[in-house]
Structure 1
Amino acid sequence: MIHLAIRGHDLSGEYTPKQLAQAIGAKKIKNVQFALNASFPDLSAPEKMNPGMGTFFKNEFQEQGVQIALLSCYSNLIHPEPGEREKILQKFERYLFHARYFCASMVASETGSVIAALGYSEENFSDEVFEDLIHVIQRLVRVGEKYRIMVGIEAGLNHPLYSNQRIAELIERVPSDYLGIIYDPTNLITAKTAADQVALVEEAFTLFGEKIVCLHLKDFQLSGEEVIPVPLGEGQIRYPEILQLLIKHKPYCYVVLEETKDAGIDRAVALIEGLDLKN
């Protein structure tokens, strides 16, 4: 058993909050990863957030039987410009404070890059940058502990958190129940390791399975050395085996479809419902 979710902004078109909640519910989806900046950008500034706003969105979604599972605040947490980084971290901290009103259990982000525009840089793989990231995550987790909201961190190949081993090291350095890992296997797959993707997930559960709080399920195709995201069922992700591993180790865990949009969501739901998944 899993808690299947979608990202609200993977439904194309203009929606009011009520219409978005209805559209998600119509897909037979009961959970959403909700990004204010993507779905309702005019409401996403931290100074605009307030308990009433969170309660409003919580109620709109709950009327359709949908829960806000994750509140997204995806940002460049290690932005190279100190003033801009401080604005980003303060925004994340305000999201942590207000998450309770949205009834979200965590606020989520990737780690970012030393390149302001989130570009590729081998500097991201240095121990110095990783130490910088640790200090950032320690700060956010202290705020999460204060407000009793989890900080959900997602790894990626072009980030300082680029491997299972780096994730395990982060967890060791930030030993808090309020640090959780949002695990996206495709974010860590290369053309050379694609064939070993299930072993990659098995390794993750061995190293830090108790810290995985959400699985991002993103399909992919290979074009030479490039890993290209595609809707679920159109690529090479071995999702039946990965979901079986998840159920074995983390039953009822959140599973968020990513890069699967609109009609593709219906196909993905049908594919997952057709699997013989067992505890």
Structure 2
Amino acid sequence: MYNLVIRGHDLSNISTPEHLAQQTKSVGIHNLQFALGASFPQLDSSSNALNPGMGTYFKNLFAKHDIQIALLSCYSNLIHPDPIKREEILHKFETYLRDAHFFGASMVASETGSVLPNLGYSEDNFSDTVFADLVKVIERLVKTGERHRTLVGIEAGLNHPLSSIERTKQLLEAVDSDYLGIILDPTNLITIETHESIVDIVEEAFQQYGSKICAFHLKDFMIKDGKIVPTSLGKGLINYPAILKIIQQYKPYCYIVLEQTKDEDIRVAKELIAKL
């Protein structure tokens, strides 16, 4: 009933693509959110290196183990302030969109970034000017996604220009395309003051733009030293039974990524969900 996904880099000490496939299967998961550079930093995953043969290799290898790449990650600072660096980043994303189908992936995923090169916090991220700049960037990427029939999956976060349900809705109104999807991570939208409202945030997001939600990040959290700190599912405060019920109501079989749930904790999380 739940279409669970793990990030490949949430499995530790992975040495080869074959090893990643084996370990994914061993924890009982059949879908990956695959970040080439995070899982295999020694492999060149730049726009110059990406190619159909690489995609087909990973697709066929994972298929032998009954695993598919659900999301292809290309998390980058899409609004990098240096125009030369930004162009490199956007070109790489467009290359991933071009070749995603060779990997067997239906979408390429990223957050929006920051006006600071190091992705740090800045009040400027929340300005209308920066948001308008973001809209132009997403329009460009979505046009590429339309050409290659690959979804652009965008994730919101408190410190980014796409910082709320309201801003996300504005983006969707500004960029009207079947190839723009939203990856909903409610833990990215809470503070220590609002964390108890996380179920309400999920409900509101589905009511406001549920048809555009293409994947969900289920990321448990603790509060430590006045901060939201991610943890494995079932070890924190997130009301995952209520959230999973909402997902099932609005988006049956939606990809649910167990983000930050690692190694043997993946098997535990899967068992907790199976009991619901």
TM-score bucket of the superposed structures, by smaller chain? over 0.9
Alpha-carbon displacement from aligned partner over 1:137-177 (angstroms, at most 9, x marks no partner)? 00000000000000000000000001000000000000000
Query: Is 1:20 the counterpart of 2:29 in the alignment?
Result: no
**In structure 2, distance between residues paired with 1:250 and 1:45:** 33
Contact 2:111–2:157 (8 Å) recurs in 1 = yes
* TM-score, normalization by structure 1: 0.97
**In structure 2, distance between residues paired with 1:139 and 1:194:** 34
Could you say which residue in structure 2 is the equivalent of 1:99?
100
Q: Secondary structure at the match of 1:47?
A: coil
Letter paired with 2:15: Y
Query: Is 1:176 the counterpart of 2:174 in the alignment?
Result: no
Query: Is 1:217 the counterpart of 2:229 in the alignment?
Result: no
**In structure 1, distance between residues paired with 2:230 and 2:16:** 28
Query: Is 1:47 the counterpart of 2:36 in the alignment?
Result: no
Query: Is 1:59 the counterpart of 2:21 in the alignment?
Result: no
**In structure 1, distance between residues paired with 2:85 and 2:227:** 31
**In structure 1, distance between residues paired with 2:256 and 2:14:** 25
Q: Secondary structure at the match of 2:48?
A: helix
**In structure 2, distance between residues paired with 1:17 and 1:43:** 14
**In structure 2, distance between residues paired with 1:111 and 1:48:** 24
Aligned-residue Cα RMSD (Å) equals: 0.8
Contact 2:114–2:121 (8 Å) recurs in 1 = yes
**In structure 2, distance between residues paired with 1:43 and 1:27:** 28
Deviation larger for 4-13 or 260-269: 260-269
Could you say which residue in structure 1 is the equivalent of 2:234?
233
Letter paired with 2:212: K
Contact 1:184–1:217 (8 Å) recurs in 2 = yes
Alpha-carbon displacement from aligned partner over 1:69-106 (angstroms, at most 9, x marks no partner)? 00000000000100000000000000000001001000
**In structure 2, distance between residues paired with 1:43 and 1:271:** 37
Deviation larger for 12-21 or 210-219: 12-21
- Percentage of matched positions with identical amino acids: 59
**In structure 2, distance between residues paired with 1:224 and 1:8:** 29
Q: Secondary structure at the match of 2:78?
A: coil
Q: Secondary structure at the match of 1:48?
A: coil
Could you say which residue in structure 2 is the equivalent of 1:163?
164
Could you say which residue in structure 2 is the equivalent of 1:33?
33
Contact 1:111–1:153 (8 Å) recurs in 2 = yes
* TM-score, normalization by structure 2: 0.98
**In structure 1, distance between residues paired with 2:44 and 2:20:** 15
Q: Secondary structure at the match of 1:229?
A: strand
**In structure 2, distance between residues paired with 1:133 and 1:178:** 16
Contact 1:191–1:224 (8 Å) recurs in 2 = no
**In structure 1, distance between residues paired with 2:107 and 2:191:** 28
Deviation larger for 162-171 or 11-20: 11-20
Mapping for residues 132-171 of structure 1, pairs under 5 Å: 132-171=133-172
Contact 2:182–2:212 (8 Å) recurs in 1 = yes
Contact 2:27–2:264 (8 Å) recurs in 1 = no
Contact 1:190–1:225 (8 Å) recurs in 2 = no
Could you say which residue in structure 1 is the equivalent of 2:275?
274
Shift of 1:63: 0.5
Runs of 4+ residues over 6 Å off in structure 1: none
**In structure 1, distance between residues paired with 2:20 and 2:225:** 38
Gaps of 5+ in 2: none
**In structure 1, distance between residues paired with 2:61 and 2:127:** 44
Shift of 1:224: 5.3
